[in-house]
Each structure stands twice: as C-alpha cells, then as structure tokens.
C-alpha cells in the first residue's frame, strides 16, 4: 500500500503517519525527518537543507526528489510506504508519478488532513520533538512523562527552529502557494480522501483506518 499524507504544516501528518506505519507494517518516510537527521549529523545535505528550512522555505525539488527516490528504492519499501511531507510541489508529484508508472504501480491513497490556519499556529508553539528518534509531543495534548525528556529514548526534547511563530506563518503561505495544488492533482487521479484534522488524534486515526480498510 502506497499512501501520501497531505496537509498544512502542523496538521498532524507525522502523528498519523507513524500510527499508519505501525498498524499496516510499512515504513514511515518523512523528508523533513531525513533532513533533520542530516542537520543533526552535520552532513553537507543537512547544511544545505537547513538554510531553507530555517526560513520556512522549501528545499529545492531536485535535491528533495533525489533523497526521496533513494529512500523508497530500499528493500523495506518494496511492499509500500507512507510518505509524510512528500510530495510538496507539483513537480515533485510528477517525478514520483513517473517513477511509479515505470514500476507499474501507483499511489493508493492521498490522505488530506484538513486543519484551518488558525488552529495551526497554536499547535506548533506547543510541539516538542525528539531529534534522536523522531517522536513528537505536545505540551498540552501529548505531554511526555517527564518534562523535556523523550519517553521512548530518554533524549532531550526541543522546540524545532522552524516552529517559531514568524517562520510558521511563512511555512503556511508556502503551503498555500506550492503544496495545496496537490489536493486537486490527487483528486483528479481519484485517490484523494479528506479527513477532519481538528478532532482528537485518535478520532483522526479512526477516520483514516476506515478509509484504508
Ligand atoms: P516537515 O518536517 O515535513 O514539516 P511540515 O510539513 O511543516 O509539517 P510538520 O512536521 O511541522 O507537521 P505535521 O503535519 O507532521 O504535524 P505533527 O504530527 O508534528 O518539513 C519541514 C521543512 O523541511 C519544510 O518547511 C521544508 O523546508 C523541508 N521539506 C520537507 N519536505 C520537503 C519537500 N518534500 N520538499 C521541499 N522541502 C521539504 O503535529 C503537530 C503538533 O500538533 C504536534 O505537537 C502534535 O502532537 C499535535 N497534534 C497532532 N494531531 C493533533 C490533534 N488531532 N489534536 C491536537 N494536537 C495534535
Ligand atoms: Mg511532520
Ligand atoms: Zn526520542
């Protein structure tokens, strides 16, 4: 099963993608997580990506596509995957499409997690992330057992550099310009499913599993 998560920054794509990955035993592939892991390890890729991410801009398509195609070519992806944060532009979607066509397969579902801009800014300021294992928390909705410490691996939790209010506003505007058109792209392909992302995260997940079966 090949699933794409669509939605604004902070809509809950990562939260849902992790649960989907676990339930359906497929890898969770997040381009944002790949970039952050590279930043943490000080790689050249990380340095380049960081210069865009810190401003809330998109990393250039060419670089992003290369990273993604590399990742989904790995053995664990052969029975499918859930893509979180990719594609984010029409050119990215077109490259993915032509790659899948070459392999004689296709995207099965594009799940759009719908959350209005007003809710987003509030959510982001409360998010805390573990850079070691990728787990995500929220100081009100999903607090860790010990403040500032990851339940899963014991590392320190951080407020992402790009979760500052000004940067979030820019990410939202980039989203509306460049990523929202993908809703029509996947709707035209007949694979788009909308879910209400403003409700409790378990209710969002139930809506998604009803769709995926
Ligand atoms: P990326 O890491 O993909 O960030 P994003 O799309 O901005 O999305 P987020 O990860 O911020 O939000 P999310 O939807 O995953 O929400 P989450 O589940 O964490 O990308 C970061 C940057 O990398 C980009 O800006 C760009 O520069 C670059 N990049 C990445 N991919 C790229 C690409 N393909 N092309 C070019 N550049 C790329 O939830 C948010 C918070 O809300 C959490 O605290 C969570 O606990 C809480 N929450 C979740 N669900 C609920 C709920 N139902 N109710 C209440 N709270 C909830
Ligand atoms: Mg995410
Ligand atoms: Zn952790």
Q: List pLDDT tens digits, range 80-134.
A: 999 999 999 999 999 999 999 999 999 999 999 999 998 998 889 899 999 888 8
| All residues at 6 or more sequence positions from 177 whose CB lies less than 8 Å from its CB, including other chains | none
Could you tell me the distance, in angstroms and rounded to a whole number, from the CA of residue 156 to the centre of ligand 3?
8
Tell me, what's the pLDDT at 9? Answer: 96
The answer to whether 66 touches 59, Cβ cutoff 8 Å, is: no
Atom number in ligand 1 closest to CA 87: 34
| Global pTM exceeds 0.75 | yes
The answer to whether 31 touches 68, Cβ cutoff 8 Å, is: yes
Tell me, what's the pLDDT at 108? Answer: 98
Tell me, what's the pLDDT at 125? Answer: 87
Kindly report the length of the chain: 213
Could you tell me the distance, in angstroms and rounded to a whole number, from the CA of residue 138 to the centre of ligand 2?
13
The answer to whether 35 touches 53, Cβ cutoff 8 Å, is: yes
Atom number in ligand 1 closest to CA 199: 53
For the chain, list residues with pLDDT below 50: none
Atom number in ligand 1 closest to CA 204: 53
Angle of CA points 65, 69, 70, to nearest 5°: 115
Which residues participate in catalysis according to the annotation? Answer: 13, 88, 127, 160, 171
- Ligand 1 pocket check for 134: Cβ under 6 Å: no
Could you tell me the distance, in angstroms and rounded to a whole number, from the CA of residue 197 to the centre of ligand 2?
14
Tell me, what's the pLDDT at 122? Answer: 85
Tell me, what's the pLDDT at 81? Answer: 98
- Output the 3-class SS for the chain: CEEEEECCCCCCHHHHHHHHHHHHCCCEEEHHHHHHHHHHCCCHHHHHHHHHHCCCCCCCHHHHHHHHHHHHCCHHHCCCEEEECCCCCHHHHHHHHHHHHHCCCCCCEEEEEECCHHHHHHHHHHEEEECCCCCEEECCCECCCCCCECCCCCCEEECCHHHCHHHHHHHHHHHHHHHCHHHHHHHHCCCEEEEECCCCHHHHHHHHHHHHC
- Ligand 1 pocket check for 112: Cβ under 6 Å: no
Tell me, what's the pLDDT at 12? Answer: 96
């Amino acid at each position: 099963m090949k699933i794409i998560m669509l939605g604004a920054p902070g809509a809950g794509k990562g939260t849902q993608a992790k649960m989907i990955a676990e339930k359906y035993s497929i890898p969770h592939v997040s381009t944002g997580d790949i970039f952050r892991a590279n930043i943490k390890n000080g790689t050249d890729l990380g340095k380049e990506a960081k210069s865009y991410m810190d401003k809330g801009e998109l990393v250039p398509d060419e670089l992003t596509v290369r990273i993604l195609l590399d990742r989904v070519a790995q053995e664990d992806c052969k029975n499918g995957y859930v893509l979180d944060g990719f594609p984010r532009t029409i050119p990215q979607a077109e490259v993915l499409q032509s790659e899948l066509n070459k392999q004689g397969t296709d995207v099965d579902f594009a799940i759009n997690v719908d959350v209005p801009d007003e809710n987003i800014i509030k959510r982001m300021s409360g998010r805390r992330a573990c850079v070691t294992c990728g787990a995500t928390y929220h100081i009100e909705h999903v607090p860790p057992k010990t403040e500032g410490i990851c339940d899963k691996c014991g590392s320190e939790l951080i407020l992402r550099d790009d979760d500052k209010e000004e940067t979030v506003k820019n990410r939202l505007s980039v989203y509306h310009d460049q990523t929202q058109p993908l809703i029509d792209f996947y709707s035209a392909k007949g694979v788009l499913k909308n879910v209400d992302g403003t409700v409790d995260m378990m209710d969002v997940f139930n809506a998604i599993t009803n769709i995926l079966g």
